[in-house]
Amino acid sequence: DTAVSQTPKYLVTQMGNDKSIKCEQNLGHDTMYWYKQDSKKFLKIMFSYNNKELIINETVPNRFSPKSPDKAHLNLHINSLELGDSAVYFCASSSSANEKLFFGSGTQLSVL
Amino acid sequence: AQSVTQLGSHVSVSEGALVLLRCNYSSSVPPYLFWYVQYPNQGLQLLLKYTSAATLVKGINGFEAEFKKSETSFHLTKPSAHMSDAAEYFCAVSESGGYQKVTFGTGTKLQVIP
């Protein structure tokens, strides 16, 4: 009965590779997000989708491409990975009627 | 533009002592304010939120926060710390709530000493 689930939990890869992180929510929410948390625990929004439409894109390099096949899924694809992409990436969701964010447990990405 | 500042990246308290985590916000409109908690290797969980109703907000696990407009503050308190309160705490602000952008502070790590 996991609310927001993201996979994989850990991802270790080489520079230059392309990788994807998947996120699914079973809460019936209409909005989903990707957040990046750096090594200093600073949490910053990357993208937000509402009903499969992109509504927030926070100056993220175009190597990052979110894809929302339906309201319950928001996947994050990253091309040409760089060392600086190493971080924990959190998926989250919310309902337009409620300000509460529900977070997944995070994907720790390590780029070597 | 909205922002939050959390004073103190690390706070240590003894078990049973008062917990006080400080947060000051900046917002051009009446804000929505939140406190989230992050336990190791987990995502963030909402502790409490302020959405322009009562200025004293009670949350889960015995935490509460008071919105003070004159001080632009939203400090988090708990009368008596428990070992299980050890975690990272994030203050956050949103100028319109819902699907609009939520801006997080840099977090305060709470250590509870037995």
* Interatomic CA distance for residues B114 and B110, integer angstroms: 13
Residue A79 has a pLDDT of 96
pLDDT tens, residue by residue, B44-54: 899 999 987 78
Residues with Cβ within 8 Å of residue B104, at least 6 apart in sequence: A42, A43, A44, B4, B36, B90, B91, B92
Task: Give CA–CA dist A31/A52, Å, rounded.
Answer: 8
By CA distance, what is A106's nearest residue in B? B43
Token digits for B81?
């710390």
Given an 8 Å threshold on Cβ–Cβ distance, is B99 in contact with A31?
A: yes
B99 vs A30: CB contact, 8 Å cut-off? yes
pLDDT of residue B99: 47
Beta strands in B19-107 (DSSP E): 19-26, 32-38, 44-50, 56-58, 64-68, 73-78, 87-94, 102-104
What does the mean pLDDT of chain A come to? Answer: 90
Chain A residues with beta carbon closer than 8 angstroms to that of B32: 99
In this predicted model, what pLDDT tens digit does every residue of A55-64 receive, in sequence order? 877 778 999 9
Give the separation between CA B81 and CA A35, rounded to whole angstroms: 29
- For residue range A73-93, list pLDDT tens digits in order: 999 999 999 999 999 999 999
Interatomic CA distance for residues A85 and B47, integer angstroms: 29
Contact list, A45 vs chain B (CB under 8 Å): 101-103
Say if residue B97's pLDDT is above 70: no
Average pLDDT over residues B3-31: 93
Interchain proximity A103–B32, CB inside 8 Å: no
Size of interface A-B (CB pairs under 8 A): 61
Query: Which chain B residue's Cα is nearest to A100?
Result: B46
Instruction: Please name the residues in contact with A27: beta carbons below 8 A apart, sequence gap of 6 or more.
Output: A3, A4, A93, A95, A102
- What SS3 state is found at A85? helix
Q: Choose among B42, B102, B106: nearest Cβ to A42.
A: B106
Q: Report how far apart, in Å, the C-alpha atoms of B91 and of each of A7, B9, B14, B23, B24 are.
A: 26, 12, 22, 6, 9
Spell out which residues of chain B touch residue A89, defining contact as CB-CB under 8 Å.
Answer: none
